[in-house]
Amino acid sequence: MSNEKRAQGAFFQRDRNWHAPAYTPTYKTSVLRSPQKALLSLDNSISEMTGPVFGHNQIGELDNDLILNFSQNGELPVGERIIVHGRVMDERGLPVKGALLELWQANAGGRYRHKKETYLAPLDPNFGGCGRTITDDNGDYHFRTIKPGPYPWPNGVNDWRPAHIHFSVFGDGFAQRLITQMYFEGDPLIWKCPIVQTIPSEEAVRQLIAPLDMGNTIPMDSLAYKFDIVLRGRRSTMFDNRREGN
Amino acid sequence: MTQSLNYFKETPSQTAGPYVHIGCTPNFSGLNGVFSEDLGVKILNDQAEGTRITVRGVVYDGKGAPIKDALVEIWQADAKGLFNSPSEIRGAADPNFSGWGRCPGEMESGEFVFETIKPGVVPFKDGRPMAPHITFWIVARGINIGLHTRMYFPEEIDANAADPILSRIDHKSRVPTLIATQNGSEYRFDIHLQGDNETVFFDI
Ligand SMILES: [Fe+3]
């Protein structure tokens, strides 16, 4: 089999014990939003093995630069300047090229730019909080942004979200579709957060914590954090039962 | 001792939270001037082949309240049953039809709307035809991992009866949760996260 051939096989089964279950009552919103009946388990069909492709022509030049993409009159947002970079790969360690990454986050004070957001921390006139990019041929990506602040949220009486960046990831098959959150090394709020605690194992949570990456910091400019993302891997197609013309 | 399989673990899913629109449909949420346009808004152009249809619905929580912060994505074949995807090896799909749509629920009603075409027939892996269907993926605050399901068409009575996925559902009374209701070119597909009408969701 040639390495150039576009991945086509069915995806590895999802390890549902690694992910959060649907019903997690300490994260209260899940109580009425969690399916209660068993999922219907199926091997992929072509409908899930395929997925759309995103082109660089759909993405603007500053879409991955949150420091500049909402700046007004050339003024910069307040906060710690950081680079977030990493590789999107699959469970076999193969790079996922052309993956669409979309991210959103609060500003340095922990405030989102959204109509329904009511936290008293102020908006930053120069910070929008959204970015997107497409991975290169090695599966690599990078963003530039400011480090988001933690914020309180209505769940328990005194629950706080650790600093985090939300990621939406689109690989090459619809079955790989994933939304997750990236946390920052050393944040004591991570282990107190009811949303983090929906994930059953500490080992799985650690997969969401980006380490400080001094090697990739830009001196006198920006710190760097590395966040690799793993999507479902594909089975080899060698012995898959495909009929002529399928 | 054995060799290691050397597989990595999938990155754990986390809820999309209440502000998924900032990242995925910022222009819809009023965050203008960053992205030129929200992705997935237009599934087809005027030249696309096939029967035009509108698909609407609401995602309901366990108390029957509409969820107003959901994001719904669809993925489907073109009129001939081909996917506009690099992984499609059976032929070239209609270049005027992307097959992928993304819609946030309307902020007051929670309703999502897709302007698309009726998909053709796609073979199951054993070669049997699958009835025409649209693949759905739903995320929202309170949903820890995105939910996969499918919408089927009510007029396809014979094809639905022979569909290899629908026929895998043990409790036949749950099959209608995957079948839209039709009014001309308009289809309604409501999604219920819990309750007697809980939609069949897939581990796929
Ligand atoms: Fe958040």
- Candidate from B85, B107, B169 with C-beta closest to A52: B85
What pLDDT shows up at residue A3? Answer: 42
pLDDT band for position A25 (50/70/90)? very high
Contacts of A89 in chain B (CB under 8 A): 8
Query: Does A98 map to a domain?
Result: yes
HSE-CB at A3 with a 13 A cutoff on CA atoms is: 5
Taking the CB of residue A41, how many other CB atoms lie within 10 A of it? 12
Q: What is the pLDDT of residues A216-225, one digit of tens each?
A: 999 999 999 9
Residue A162, domain extent:
61-148+155-166+174-232
Query: Does A33 map to a domain?
Result: no
Query: Does A14 map to a domain?
Result: no
What is the C-alpha separation between A88 and A100, in angstroms, rounded?
Answer: 10
pLDDT band for position A241 (50/70/90)? low
**For chain B, how many helices (H) and strands (E)?**
2, 12
CA A128 to chain centre: 18
Q: How far is the CA of A64 from the centre of ligand 1 (A)?
A: 18
What is the C-alpha separation between B154 and B178, in angstroms, rounded?
Answer: 10
pLDDT band for position A16 (50/70/90)? very high
**Residues of A designated as active site:** 112, 151, 161, 164, 166
Query: Does A55 map to a domain?
Result: no
Q: What is the pLDDT of residues B38-70, one digit of tens each?
A: 999 999 999 999 999 999 999 999 999 999 999
Query: Does A144 map to a domain?
Result: yes
Contact B142 A54 (CB under 8 A): no
Percent of chain A with pLDDT over 90: 88
Confirm if B53 and B117 have CB atoms less than 8 A apart: yes
A155 has a pLDDT exceeding 80: yes
Q: Give how many domains chain A has, as a whole number.
A: 1
Local structure of residue A169 (DSSP, 8 states):
E
Query: Does A243 map to a domain?
Result: no
Task: Reduce the DSSP state of residue B20 to 3 states and report it.
Answer: helix
Question: Could you tell me which chain B residue has the CA closest to the CA of A205?
Answer: B12
Average pLDDT for A43-64: 94
What pLDDT shows up at residue A4? Answer: 45
Which pairing describes strands B111-117 and B52-60: parallel, antiparallel, or unpaired?
Answer: antiparallel
Nearest C-alpha neighbor of A105 from the set A210, A235, A220: A210
Query: Distance, in angstroms, between A18 CA and closest chain B CA?
Result: 7
- Candidate from A14, A173, A195 with C-beta closest to B10: A14
Q: CATH number, domain at A189?
A: 2.60.130.10
Query: Does A225 map to a domain?
Result: yes
Q: Which of A185-189, A238-242, B181-185 has the lowest mean pLDDT?
A: A238-242
Contact A30 B86 (CB under 8 A): no
**pTM across the whole model:** 0.96
What rounded mean pLDDT belongs to chain B? 96
What is the C-alpha separation between A143 and A155, in angstroms, rounded?
Answer: 31
Contacts of A30 in chain B (CB under 8 A): 15, 142-144
Q: What is the pLDDT of residues A101-112, one digit of tens each?
A: 999 999 999 999
What is the C-alpha separation between B145 and A112, in angstroms, rounded?
Answer: 22
pLDDT band for position A240 (50/70/90)? low
DSSP of A19-48: SPPS--TTSGGGTTTS--SPPEE----HHH
Rounded to 5 degrees, what are φ and ψ at A154?
-75, 105
A9 has a pLDDT exceeding 90: no
What rounded mean pLDDT belongs to chain A? 93
Query: Does A95 map to a domain?
Result: yes
Average pLDDT for B98-115: 96
